Every structure is written in structure tokens, then in C-alpha cells.
């Protein structure tokens, strides 16, 4: 129990109480399977599924960042197809502005990667796998990124546009 509390505090210390600009990539296999990362996190579920991606480093373009993050987290080499939409996540202690892109796999081998911002004994990436969009809809919505509440198919996901706000109203 103490290890979990230490990890949760470490997550807040590294990622919380600041605004982070992030990139995320939607990678589909077949037409109904999307690649997701299972991250350990704080909150009632202690884990969360989201598309691969992460923070943009200073001096790095969004596209460069997404290509780097995808390789670090999944072992895959990708190419950016197009920018899709912006999602803002505002749930203190977290505040993230996420830029979503449609991407395509060009090489590499799918594997469980690492988050370089976390120590090797405190990794928060637990799983990397393709999820069927229909199966996501049958699960507890709070386990998945908000975009899967807004769009149920790959066509709907790829047609999300503009700015989307997800805010804690408590």
C-alpha cells in the first residue's frame, strides 16, 4: 500500500500542478482496433488507458515529439498523417493540453516501452495493446480517455475536430 502511495505522490510531483502540452497519436489496425497504453495513475481506478504520446520537450516540434514518444512507449516507428483536434484535460492536480494526430505505423516492433520521466523502478506504463473500439464501449468509461465517450468508431474519432474541454466540475 505504501508503494502505491509513493508512486501516486511521485506522479503528482512530476506531472501535477503545472500545465503540460502533450501530443497523442491515434493508430488503427484493421478499422476497429486502436493502440492504447495502460498507465498507472492516481484516482479511484489506479490505472487509465489512453493513446500513446506525452509531453513536448522545449525546442521540439509537436510532430517530432509524437514520433519520439511513440517509439519510447511502444517500440513503433510512426509517420504523422494529419492533425485532428485539441483536447484539454483540467482535473487538478493535472492540467494537460493534448494535440491529437492521426498516425501510421512505418516500422519497429510493438513492445512495452518506458516513460523516461519516471525512474526504472517506478514505471507507470503497464501494458501496450490494440483495443477493439466495440470492447472499449462495453467497459467502464472512466478507465479510458475521454475521447472514447465522444466517439465510438474510428471514423467518428478521425472526424473529431476543434477544441474539446474535459473539466472537473466538483
The CATH number of the domain holding residue 105 is 3.90.79.10
SS3 label, residue 131: strand
What pLDDT band is residue 107 in, cutting at 50, 70 and 90?
A: very high
pLDDT of res. 147:
96
Q: Considering only CA atoms, which of 37, 40, 49 is closest in space to residue 15? A: 40
Residue 6 or residue 115, greater confidence? 115
pLDDT of res. 170:
46
Residues 151, 134: Cα–Cα separation, whole Å: 11
Number of independent structural domains in the chain: 1
Residues 84, 88: Cα–Cα separation, whole Å: 14
pLDDT of res. 19:
87
Q: What is the pTM of this model?
A: 0.88
For residue 79, what are the domain limits?
Answer: 2-167
8 A C-beta contact, residue 146 and residue 100: no
pLDDT digit string, tens, across residues 45-95: 778 899 999 999 999 999 999 999 999 999 999 999 999 999 998 878 878
8 A C-beta contact, residue 107 and residue 75: no
Residues 71, 68: Cα–Cα separation, whole Å: 5
pLDDT of res. 134:
96
Cell of 83: 492533425
Helix runs in 16-146, H state only: 62-74, 133-138
Amino acid at each position: 500500500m505504501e508503494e502505491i502511495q509513493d508512486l501516486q505522490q511521485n506522479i503528482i510531483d512530476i506531472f501535477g500542478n503545472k500545465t503540460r502540452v502533450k501530443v497523442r497519436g491515434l493508430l488503427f489496425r484493421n478499422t476497429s482496433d486502436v493502440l492504447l497504453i495502460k498507465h498507472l495513475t492516481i484516482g479511484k481506478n489506479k490505472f487509465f488507458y489512453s493513446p500513446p504520446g506525452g509531453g513536448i520537450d522545449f525546442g521540439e516540434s509537436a510532430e517530432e515529439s509524437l514520433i519520439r514518444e511513440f517509439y519510447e512507449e511502444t517500440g513503433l516507428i510512426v509517420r504523422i498523417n494529419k492533425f485532428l483536434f485539441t483536447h484539454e484535460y483540467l482535473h487538478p492536480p493535472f492540467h494537460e493540453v493534448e494535440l491529437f494526430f492521426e498516425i501510421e505505423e512505418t516500422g519497429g516492433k510493438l513492445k512495452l516501452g518506458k516513460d523516461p520521466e519516471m525512474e526504472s523502478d517506478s514505471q507507470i506504463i503497464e501494458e501496450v495493446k490494440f483495443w477493439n473500439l466495440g470492447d472499449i464501449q462495453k467497459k467502464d468509461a472512466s478507465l479510458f480517455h475521454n475521447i472514447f465517450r465522444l466517439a465510438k468508431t474510428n471514423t467518428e474519432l478521425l472526424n473529431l475536430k476543434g477544441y474539446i474541454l474535459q473539466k472537473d466540475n466538483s
